Structure 1
Amino acid sequence: MGRMSAATPPTERRVSARVGAISESATLAVDAKAKALKAAGRPVIGFGAGEPDFPTPDYIVEAAIEACKNPKFHRYTPAGGLPELKAAIAAKTLRDSGLEVDASQILVTNGGKQAIYEAFAAILDPGDEVIVPAPYWTTYPESIRLAGGVPVEVVADETTGYRVTVEQLEAARTEKTKVVLFVSPSNPTGAVYGEQETEAIGRWAVEHGLWVMTDEIYEHLVYGDASAVSLPAVLPELRDKCIVVNGVAKTYAMTGWRVGWIIGPKDVVKAATNLQSHATSNVSNVAQAAALAAVSGDLVAVEKMREAFDRRRKTIVRMLNEIDGVVCPEPEARSTPTRRSRRWSARRSGAGGPRTRSSWPR
């Protein structure tokens, strides 16, 4: 019997199609390049990652040092987060947003990125569409794809202050649309939606039975007369189909500590917690202790950072306008605050008396 000829083996897929389709984080790639050039002695200023160039406040660092010494933090803790941190996040959310939530509606995650992915993974099925206002942070569409969803871009430009309208969202909606992404203050444009705009988008989502995922991590980094409002606080009817993502990274200069969170309906938070229990177990206990000190404290640190950032943005614009052929508009507020949002701003800075639930305007 003659020998059988060897068949040519099929091309082997070494990386799954699902993961292979994900692009590298352009933000981190640019940031790594800038840091490498700076380390080599080049005069580089990086504008890639949204990273405050301030040290984490001392009292937060001290809380982490004490946590390192505490044997209870040397062991596993609940996958969904330290109970005391979840309670503090609930209190912080009421203080800063006027939104009352229970600790059972909160999941502590390894930074905002994990919160975004787990939120999408908990509510998306293959083929579900997510409306994504553009320009957008590069992680949003990749998280949607990884969760099996399909990102649908809706482009905003300078003519609308980089804010999308309800009419644009409606034009993008199909029978497959399940979620609309809402980011205010926007990453990367900095655009801030006013209260009326925010409520209109929320009502449109309620009318069509859509979920909303709102990223509020830049809530305190607003300038001029702008004041960010929280969508589920503005429109309580939306709360059963709204997921809020937030974290300590920007407000407290804690990007490297990797602590974020999800706030949402209990069933969705429970599903996301189950996912996290298999992916990472608990978030680092030391980082959670630091986050507890951060969210339990005041907002003095972010006020100082915001003043510095405001000076810098004005300086950047002035220097750009000194270049021949460049015309850069002067920095100004992206939206006009309402009477309510001005009261919120006063309370955030410490004015207006105790932050009790009854003191929040309805």
Structure 2
Amino acid sequence: MTERASLSQKISAIAESATLKVDAKAKALKAEGRPVISYAAGEPDFATPAHVVDAAREALEDPANFRYSPAAGLPALRKAVAEKTLRDSGLAVEPNQVVVTNGGKQAVYQAFQVILNPGDEVLLPSPYWTTYPEAIQLADGTPVAVFADADADYKVTVAQLEAARTDKTKAIVFVSPSNPTGSVYTPEETEEIAHWALEHGVWILTDEIYQNLTYDGVRAVSIVEAVPEVADQTILLNGVAKTYAMTGWRVGWMVGPVAAMKAAANLQSHLTSNVNNIAQYAAIAA
């Protein structure tokens, strides 16, 4: 290949999703009859609820669903997401603060694209989901790992974040319950991190995809519920994949300040346009 016909250096540097790679290997071994238990992809062990499937089946009867729909999502779904955000994250938002995406992963990608400029640093508590650093780098940002081990219950402290902060720090990724460790920050720990972000004007990208999957009476308190004032600099990422056993339906969303969501919708209008309408109606039912 000649230099002129070479591939993009940015894209060539991105690693394949380790999660999907291991998941594909596990499925291949299962197909061969091997007794494999996979801890790769976060896949609920129950089927999508019947009423959700029924809603999709009903949506197939309406020819309007075979046409383009708004890039930012069906109005009814954006309203439903706003209601869920109030119910589960304690934050009152309008439907125009919601952008429906092709799965939670696209929401993660678009969030970084919207807030980062070349050279911006993102504090990334470690261990972390393998997509975060790649999505940061695709937005020309620099991931800065902040490690917390088992003795700390895999939860970073404000002291650690402050030690890692520089004049290039633009954002922090906050994930509770954590993927992959499962650790849940206490309300007090969550509040501390929110106040730190407020003090330093740092964006918060909070991935709440696992917020409803907690056990033994533990509740994951959203960072915008802990400190409502931080909502103006927070983007919430979520989707139907985990809570409703809809990983293959590919419906996620992002919630945030109006200007940020307008930018995300503009990006999506060129990137993918609308999410599959049938899947969106299934998500409304969920």
Deviation at 1:54, TM superposition (A): 1.3
Q: Structure 1 residues 13 and 160, CA, compared in 2 at 3 Å: closer, same or farther?
A: farther
Which stretches in structure 1 are left out of the alignment for 5+ residues?
1-8, 295-362
Deviation at 1:92, TM superposition (A): 1.3
Match of residue 242 from structure 1: 234
Q: Kindly provide the CA deviation profile for residues 212-251 of structure 1, in whole angstroms up to 9, marking residues without a partner as x.
A: 0000000011111321011112111111100000000000
Match of residue 225 from structure 1: 217
- C-alpha contact 2:90 2:224 (8 A) present in aligned 1: no
Match of residue 189 from structure 2: 197
CA–CA separation in structure 1 for the residues paired with 2:217 and 2:149: 21
Match of residue 285 from structure 1: 277
- Check if 1:256 corresponds to 2:248: yes
Which stretches in structure 2 are left out of the alignment for 5+ residues?
none
Q: Kindly provide the CA deviation profile for residues 318-352 of structure 1, in whole angstroms up to 9, marking residues without a partner as x.
A: xxxxxxxxxxxxxxxxxxxxxxxxxxxxxxxxxxx
CA–CA separation in structure 1 for the residues paired with 2:279 and 2:218: 31
- Check if 1:150 corresponds to 2:135: no
Match of residue 38 from structure 1: 30
Q: Please, what TM-score do these two structures have when normalized by structure 2?
A: 0.98
Q: Which amino acid aligns with 1:107?
A: V
CA–CA separation in structure 2 for the residues paired with 1:169 and 1:103: 33
Percent identity of equivalent pairs? 63
* Superposed CA RMSD: 1.0
Match of residue 156 from structure 2: 164
CA–CA separation in structure 2 for the residues paired with 1:12 and 1:255: 40
Q: Which amino acid aligns with 1:236?
A: P
Q: Which runs of 4+ in 1 moved over 4 A?
A: 9-13
Match of residue 141 from structure 1: 133
CA–CA separation in structure 1 for the residues paired with 2:279 and 2:2: 47
Q: Which amino acid aligns with 2:142?
A: V
Deviation at 1:168, TM superposition (A): 0.4
Match of residue 103 from structure 1: 95
CA–CA separation in structure 2 for the residues paired with 1:159 and 1:46: 26
CA–CA separation in structure 1 for the residues paired with 2:205 and 2:23: 27
Deviation at 1:120, TM superposition (A): 0.5
Match of residue 65 from structure 1: 57
- C-alpha contact 2:127 2:181 (8 A) present in aligned 1: yes
Match of residue 75 from structure 1: 67
Q: Which amino acid aligns with 1:167?
A: A
Q: Which has the larger radius of gyration?
A: 1
CA–CA separation in structure 2 for the residues paired with 1:237 and 1:59: 37
Q: Kindly provide the CA deviation profile for residues 98-141 of structure 1, in whole angstroms up to 9, marking residues without a partner as x.
A: 21110010000000100000010000001000000000000000
Between the two proteins, the alignment pairs up a number of residues equal to: 286
CA–CA separation in structure 2 for the residues paired with 1:209 and 1:270: 21
- C-alpha contact 2:89 2:224 (8 A) present in aligned 1: no
- C-alpha contact 2:104 2:239 (8 A) present in aligned 1: yes
Deviation at 1:11, TM superposition (A): 4.2
Match of residue 53 from structure 1: 45
Q: Kindly provide the CA deviation profile for residues 308-327 of structure 1, in whole angstroms up to 9, marking residues without a partner as x.
A: xxxxxxxxxxxxxxxxxxxx
Q: Which amino acid aligns with 2:36?
A: V
CA–CA separation in structure 2 for the residues paired with 1:202 and 1:17: 36
Q: Please, what TM-score do these two structures have when normalized by structure 1?
A: 0.78
Deviation at 1:10, TM superposition (A): 5.8
CA–CA separation in structure 1 for the residues paired with 2:2 and 2:73: 46
Match of residue 123 from structure 1: 115
Q: Which amino acid aligns with 1:274?
A: N
CA–CA separation in structure 1 for the residues paired with 2:236 and 2:89: 11
Q: Which amino acid aligns with 1:220?
A: N
SS in 1 for 2:60: helix
- Which moves more between the two structures, 221-230 or 278-287? 221-230
